[in-house]
A and B are shown apart, each in its own frame.
Chain A
Amino acid sequence: MRLALRIILAAGLAVGLTGAVSAQEIDTHARAPKHVEYKFEGPFGKYDRAALQRGYQVYKEVCAACHSLKQIAFRNLMDHGGPEFSEAQARALAAAAKVPAGPNDKGETHNDSGEVLTRSAVLADYFPAPFPNEEAARTANAGALPPDLSLMVKARHHGAAYVYSLLTSYGEKPPAGFAVAKGKYYNPYFAGWNIGMPQPVTNNGVSYSDGTKASIEQQAHDVVTFLAWAAEPKMEQRKQMGFAVLIFLLAFAGVLGLVYKKVKGEYALK
């Protein structure tokens, strides 16, 4: 009886272990991002204003619950080369957000219940973070830390395509033999395939103020455009200046080349 039990236990362990081993043998490197093209890529790229404004709406209604965007201030929403909200719009968007108020006249920063005193944001304020510190963020997210998104598009290879692929792949089923870790979700575009973030973007999860159909792909496209701008607000100025500088330099090189030819004939070859 004891021997039979032992054999069954060993067999069970063997099956369990081999199952685990074959799971470990699957290569869980992140899949190369989907091939997506954006209007802002390439030397002539520009941010699509409407996409930026819709993308801001997606960030605010979907992502901002967990992800901070600390490098962006409400005044940046008016930036040339950015979403270009009007000043009135930007003020309204700011006023709808709450930021920690500094000490009041009595020097208090918290009310009697221990909550932080807040005030409406103004244009100069940076986007408020959803959590006061890393520990609070992890507690609210099953131990995972939602990263700040200000530079996410620059912080990954092919960042725009990466974020887009991540957001649009939650529907995929994991391959046979891969066990999704407890408390995580399957996403083949994330290294290790176990991502702590549940599907953020859902069909019609946001109702766009300009009436665009809010499919998952559309929301992903818009929020990626917005995040690309957030990572590099000066991109349009950079490329415009680049053309002016290069055209000047090419002309200058042409002139100097002609002068060189003349000088060479006069001095070096005589």
Chain B
Amino acid sequence: MGAVAAGAVVWPLIQQMNPSAAALALATTETDIGAIQPGQQVIIKHRGQPLFVRRRTPEEIKSAQAVDVAALPDGLARNAGKDAALPASDANRTIKAEWLVVSGVCTHLGCTPTVSTPSAPEGEYGGWLCHCHGSAYDTSGRIRKGPAPENLHVPVYSFMSDTRIKVG
């Protein structure tokens, strides 16, 4: 009985250190994506960090899927919602091919890469170019050239409907 009492006293003291209700409320972010046009990206703030939500054109999807994964500088999918060992194929980094949701934090030193659009290309791979030190990402958010060590991370997210996603 003494042990039960001791446990009952100690447990709240330990549990109070876990994220509070306020922190948990901010842990997920919901966004409407219905207004985004193909070839367009919006940047949303999730847990204080930028997140890219990009609606890809058919050309961008095709070029993302055609890349030889074995030749990539970083061969891992970096998808928080999937197994850590999965290779960096486009399918392992997306739920619906038309939508790419990736962290907007360059994996080198944390700058926000600039998106490449057909009218204003950035970098040679059609995805993003980070202006801080020259890291270039492709249309699946994978690092192709430059000092960044990893592909842009894919967060845990899901489609609440065709026009709304929930991240985190």
Chain A residues packing against B (C-beta within 8 Å): 20, 24, 143, 181, 184, 192, 194
Please, which residues of chain B bring their CB within 8 A of the CB of A143?
114
Please, which residues of chain B bring their CB within 8 A of the CB of A194?
131
Please, which residues of chain A bring their CB within 8 A of the CB of B82?
none
Interface residues of B: mostly helix, strand, loop or mixed?
A: loop
Interface size on B, residues (CB 8 A): 8
Rounded to whole angstroms, the CA-CA distance of A143 and B134 in the bound complex is 16
With both beta carbons as reference points, the residue of chain B lying nearest to A192 in the complex is identified as B133
Q: B58 CB to closest chain A CB, in angstroms?
A: 23
With both beta carbons as reference points, the residue of chain B lying nearest to A184 in the complex is identified as B131
Rounded to whole angstroms, the CA-CA distance of A184 and B134 in the bound complex is 13
Please, which residues of chain B bring their CB within 8 A of the CB of A20?
124
Rounded to whole angstroms, the CA-CA distance of A20 and B134 in the bound complex is 11
Chain B residues packing against A (C-beta within 8 Å): 114, 124, 131-134, 145-146
Q: A40 CB to closest chain B CB, in angstroms?
A: 32
Rounded to whole angstroms, the CA-CA distance of A163 and B126 in the bound complex is 36
Please, which residues of chain A bring their CB within 8 A of the CB of B132?
192
Please, which residues of chain B bring their CB within 8 A of the CB of A24?
134, 145-146
Rounded to whole angstroms, the CA-CA distance of A143 and B114 in the bound complex is 10
With both beta carbons as reference points, the residue of chain B lying nearest to A16 in the complex is identified as B124
Interface residues of A: mostly helix, strand, loop or mixed?
A: loop
Rounded to whole angstroms, the CA-CA distance of A27 and B132 in the bound complex is 14
Please, which residues of chain B bring their CB within 8 A of the CB of A192?
132-133
With both beta carbons as reference points, the residue of chain B lying nearest to A183 in the complex is identified as B131
Q: B71 CB to closest chain A CB, in angstroms?
A: 16
Can you list 9 A-B contacts (CB < 8 A)?
A: A20-B124, A24-B145, A24-B146, A143-B114, A181-B131, A184-B131, A192-B132, A192-B133, A194-B131
Rounded to whole angstroms, the CA-CA distance of A143 and B145 in the bound complex is 23
Rounded to whole angstroms, the CA-CA distance of A118 and B124 in the bound complex is 48
With both beta carbons as reference points, the residue of chain A lying nearest to B112 in the complex is identified as A143
With both beta carbons as reference points, the residue of chain A lying nearest to B129 in the complex is identified as A181
Q: B148 CB to closest chain A CB, in angstroms?
A: 13
With both beta carbons as reference points, the residue of chain B lying nearest to A24 in the complex is identified as B134
Rounded to whole angstroms, the CA-CA distance of A143 and B131 in the bound complex is 11
Rounded to whole angstroms, the CA-CA distance of A252 and B131 in the bound complex is 58
Q: Which of B131, B132, B146 has the most CB of A within 10 A?
A: B131
With both beta carbons as reference points, the residue of chain B lying nearest to A21 in the complex is identified as B145
Q: A22 CB to closest chain B CB, in angstroms?
A: 13
Q: A12 CB to closest chain B CB, in angstroms?
A: 13
Rounded to whole angstroms, the CA-CA distance of A194 and B134 in the bound complex is 11
Please, which residues of chain A bring their CB within 8 A of the CB of B133?
192
Rounded to whole angstroms, the CA-CA distance of A24 and B147 in the bound complex is 10
Rounded to whole angstroms, the CA-CA distance of A14 and B110 in the bound complex is 31
With both beta carbons as reference points, the residue of chain B lying nearest to A181 in the complex is identified as B131
Closest 7 CB pairs of A and B: A192-B133, A181-B131, A24-B134, A192-B132, A194-B131, A20-B124, A143-B114
Please, which residues of chain A bring their CB within 8 A of the CB of B134?
24
Rounded to whole angstroms, the CA-CA distance of A17 and B69 in the bound complex is 21
Q: A187 CB to closest chain B CB, in angstroms?
A: 15
Please, which residues of chain B bring their CB within 8 A of the CB of A184?
131
Rounded to whole angstroms, the CA-CA distance of A181 and B133 in the bound complex is 11
Rounded to whole angstroms, the CA-CA distance of A194 and B129 in the bound complex is 15
Rounded to whole angstroms, the CA-CA distance of A1 and B124 in the bound complex is 26
Apart from A20-B124, A24-B134, A194-B131, 7 more pairs, CB < 8 Å? A24-B145, A24-B146, A143-B114, A181-B131, A184-B131, A192-B132, A192-B133
Rounded to whole angstroms, the CA-CA distance of A134 and B133 in the bound complex is 22
Q: B139 CB to closest chain A CB, in angstroms?
A: 19
